[in-house]
Amino acid sequence: MAQPKSSGVRIDATNFPDANFREHVRQYDEDEDGILQQTELYAVATMNCSSWEWEAITNLTGIEHFTKLTELICSDNQLSTFDVSKNTGLKKLTCDACQLVSLDLSKNTELEMLKCNSNQLTSLDLSKNTKLTELDCSYNSLTSLNVSKSTGLKKLNCNTNQLVSLDLSSNPELEVLNCGYNQLTSLDVSQSTKLKEMYIVENQLTNLDLSRSTLLENLNCAYNQLTALNLSRNTELADLVCNNNQLTSLDLSQNTKLISLFCNVNNLTSLNLTNNDVLEILRCDTNQLKLLDLSKSAQLKELHCHLNQLTSLDMSNNALLETLSCGGNQLTFLDVSKNAKLEFLSCSGNQLTSLDVGNCVMLQSLFCQNNQLAFLDLSKNVNLSGWEGQSVNYDVNINGQVSSKALASKLHDNIYKVDLSEIPGINIANITDIRQSGGTNLPESASYDPATGILSIRSSEKIDGISYDYNVNHPRVGSLRMDVTFKISYGPATPEKPTETTKTTETTKPAETSKPTGTTKPTETTKPTETTKPTGTTTPTETIKLTGTTPTTDQNQDLPKTGENLGTYLWLSLLLLVAGGLLLVLRTNRILKEKD
């Protein structure tokens, strides 16, 4: 004879009004008779009815039948409230993102873990939950929180509420504290000596005493109003985030285990990292640093030091560096030849006149705009691009180069000539699109010779400066260009010094081309116009003048010249011989006539 079944809980709308929850509990009906027997109810220790497992539940009525529950997960439902007063054995309750406006846990004295974050709670009574070790009530609207009865609390996350105070004097076991994004003006953690992680970002703290938190490993106190921060007792500190405060100094000499440091957006004028030789990440941007010694930080992989007052930056000992952001400083030179693993480089807004990234073969992103670069070679940076479909998006900005040095010009025949080939390091073959510095075209009378790099500008149409595009020889897209701007310096209107072939005063001086020397040139001694003039009409001195004495600046031009005296004697001898011959001929003819 069959034994009658004991009474159980029928799976129907009366016991489980929410259709989705009703469907959920059917899985616990092992004999599929539509009734949850006591043995079936007692067998359920953990229930997960979160909406990412099932359809959203709006009513959790029926949960009271599962009296042996030790863990309930009902996250991401549409519950404004629910009753777990009968589930007295609960040790873990996760009810985040349920739209809860109230939560009664007064009967759940065994509760050890509570996650009720991301709801709409304005109050939370934990006075009966003395065994609580982990609490997450973040992202609610709590104005107060009393955890004095939860003396065994190890993890507390109450960030993003409206707390104006937080008493932790009764929580000596606390190891992890997150109370960020509240309105705290003070925080006493002197009794929480076991703290290892502390996140108090974006409050209104002006002071923070961590002298007794000697086990602290991670600290985030960013976005407060701290003017000082003493970390000398926190020797285990590995990660420090203290950005956006009002710190003027920061002593990290005792924090030798520091791996990550964010101290950006403060008023720091100096930063000593000589004892932090395991540092891998450093953000010290937006301060007033003039010097930054990274010689001991050989493990550094990421450096952000932009928006300071640095005039130099030595990274020769940082061979592992992958990310460098040093824009907005006063750098005139940047050596990254030792940083072969560099993937991201931003050095924009400095005073760089050259940049060699040839050794940075892993470089993917480059931002060097607004410097004074006249040229750039990216021929070895094969990874410097990003591809999306058929369009090309380059993670690179190389434009806005404005040189502080003006290009010199030379004036000749009322034309100014500017030689771009004189720019150190430039390859004129990579220059295109010469234009005025304002972006407009050059005057019609101006011309540029790409073969020589000479730009010619009429003196009547002087321009303030020029811009040009420079091909940076990108290995995958050769047309990637950088725009460069130079002012033009116009000197005094002094003609350019003529070359030897254009000196008219020198080519027309007879003295330079026909002046006799120690030996008389045949062309100079046999000119008919000089040797056949009637005797007596040309004196020896007149003959000398013909052979070259247009006044020059030669200081010795009036001194006797040996070559000229010798020539004079030769001419006189020749004339005497000719005259004697003529007389002899005339006399002979006369004698012959007389005999006849």
Average of per-residue pLDDT across 137-152: 98
CB 381 within 8 A of CB 360: yes
CB 131 within 8 A of CB 151: no
Helix-then-strand count for the chain, H and E: 8, 29
DSSP string of 97-108, one letter each residue: TS--S----TT-
Average of per-residue pLDDT across 267-277: 95
Per-residue pLDDT reduced to its tens digit, 493-544:
555 455 444 443 433 343 343 343 443 333 333 333 333 333 333 333 333 2
Domain final residue, candidates 151, 184, 207: 207
Cα separation, 16 vs 63, whole angstroms: 8
Same structural domain for residues 16 and 101? yes
For position 45, which CATH number holds? Answer: 3.80.10.10
Same structural domain for residues 89 and 144? no
Average of per-residue pLDDT across 557-582: 52
Same structural domain for residues 102 and 148? no
pLDDT of residue 306: 98
Same structural domain for residues 22 and 93? yes
pLDDT(130) > 70: yes
Distance (Å) of CA 148 to CA 61, 141, 531? 32, 20, 134
Cβ atoms < 10 Å from Cβ of 501:
7
Q: Which residue has the higher pLDDT, 137 or 577?
A: 137
473 band by pLDDT with thresholds 50, 70 and 90: confident
Nearest to 115 by CA among 144, 83, 82, 156: 156
Same structural domain for residues 51 and 84? yes
Burial of 441 (0-12, 13-18, 19+ CB in 10 A): exposed
Same structural domain for residues 25 and 95? yes
Same structural domain for residues 16 and 70? yes
Tell me if 163 is assigned to some domain. yes
Cα separation, 355 vs 373, whole angstroms: 7
Mean pLDDT value across the chain: 85
Q: Which residue has the higher pLDDT, 383 or 161?
A: 161
Tell me if 302 is assigned to some domain. no
DSSP string of 22-48, one letter each residue: HHHHGGG-TT-SSEE-HHHHHT--EEE
SS3 42: helix
pLDDT more than 90, % of the chain = 71
CB 60 within 8 A of CB 39: no
Nearest to 371 by CA among 336, 330, 325, 337: 330
DSSP string of 182-230, one letter each residue: S--S----TT-TT--EEE--SS--S----TT-TT--EEE--SS--S---
Q: Where are the alpha helices (DSSP H) in 80-190?
A: none
Per-residue pLDDT reduced to its tens digit, 12-69:
999 999 999 999 999 999 999 999 999 999 999 999 999 877 789 999 999 999 999 9
**Domain, as residue range, for 191:** 130-207
* DSSP summary character for residue 261: E
Q: Which two tokens stand for residue 577?
A: 């011989």
412 band by pLDDT with thresholds 50, 70 and 90: confident
For 233-249, letters b (16+ CB in 10 Å) and e give ebebbbbbbbbbbebee
For position 423, which CATH number holds? Answer: 2.60.40
pLDDT(547) > 60: no
Sign of the dihedral through C-alpha 26, 29, 35, 39: negative
Among the residue ranges 233-237, 323-327, 501-505, 592-596, the one predicted with the least confidence is 501-505
Same structural domain for residues 83 and 138? no
Per-residue pLDDT reduced to its tens digit, 274-333:
999 999 999 999 999 999 999 999 999 999 999 999 999 999 999 999 999 999 999 999
192 band by pLDDT with thresholds 50, 70 and 90: very high
Tell me if 510 is assigned to some domain. no
pLDDT of residue 389: 37
Cα separation, 171 vs 153, whole angstroms: 6
Tell me if 50 is assigned to some domain. yes
Token match 């005999």: residue?
A: 595
548 band by pLDDT with thresholds 50, 70 and 90: very low
Tell me if 386 is assigned to some domain. no
Q: Which residue has the higher pLDDT, 474 or 295?
A: 295
Q: Are strands 239-241 and 218-220 parallel, antiparallel or unpaired?
A: parallel
DSSP string of 531-596, one letter each residue: HSSPTTTS-HHHHHHHTT----S-TTTTS--HHHHHHHHHHHHHHHHHHHHHHHHHHHHHHHHHH-
* DSSP summary character for residue 450: T
Cα separation, 301 vs 318, whole angstroms: 8
Residue type, 202: E
pLDDT of residue 592: 57
Cβ atoms < 10 Å from Cβ of 64:
16
136-141-144-150 Cα dihedral, nearest 10 degrees = -20
pLDDT of residue 314: 98
394 band by pLDDT with thresholds 50, 70 and 90: low
Sign of the dihedral through C-alpha 137, 138, 143, 148: positive
pLDDT of residue 7: 76
Same structural domain for residues 32 and 100? yes
pLDDT of residue 418: 93
CB 548 within 8 A of CB 510: yes
As a whole number of Å, the CA-based R_g of the chain is 48
Q: Which residue has the higher pLDDT, 466 or 499?
A: 466
pLDDT(75) > 90: yes
Tell me if 343 is assigned to some domain. no
Average of per-residue pLDDT across 346-367: 95
Let me know how long the chain is.
596
Q: Which two tokens stand for residue 360?
A: 């940075």
pLDDT(415) > 60: yes
Tell me if 558 is assigned to some domain. no
Please count the structural domains in the chain.
3
Domain final residue, candidates 79, 111, 143: 111
Cα separation, 528 vs 47, whole angstroms: 132
pLDDT(234) > 80: yes
Same structural domain for residues 82 and 160? no
pLDDT of residue 587: 59
Tell me if 297 is assigned to some domain. no
Same structural domain for residues 73 and 159? no
Same structural domain for residues 30 and 92? yes
Q: Which two tokens stand for residue 312?
A: 């130099």
- φ and ψ at residue 448, rounded to 5 degrees: -130, 130
CB 312 within 8 A of CB 293: no
DSSP string of 492-523, one letter each residue: -SPPPPPPGGG-HHHHT-HHHHH---SS--HH
Q: Which two tokens stand for residue 241?
A: 């985030």
Cβ atoms < 10 Å from Cβ of 41:
17
Q: Which residue has the higher pLDDT, 517 or 92?
A: 92
Per-residue pLDDT reduced to its tens digit, 193-227:
999 999 999 999 999 999 999 999 999 999 999 99
pTM of the predicted protein model: 0.78
Average of per-residue pLDDT across 142-148: 98
Cα separation, 593 vs 591, whole angstroms: 5
Q: Quick one: which H or E segment has residue 112?
A: none
Distance (Å) of CA 292 to CA 4, 242, 248, 315, 335? 85, 18, 15, 10, 15
CB 158 within 8 A of CB 176: no
pLDDT(571) > 80: no
Identify each DSSP E strand in 132-175 by its residue range: 134-136, 155-157
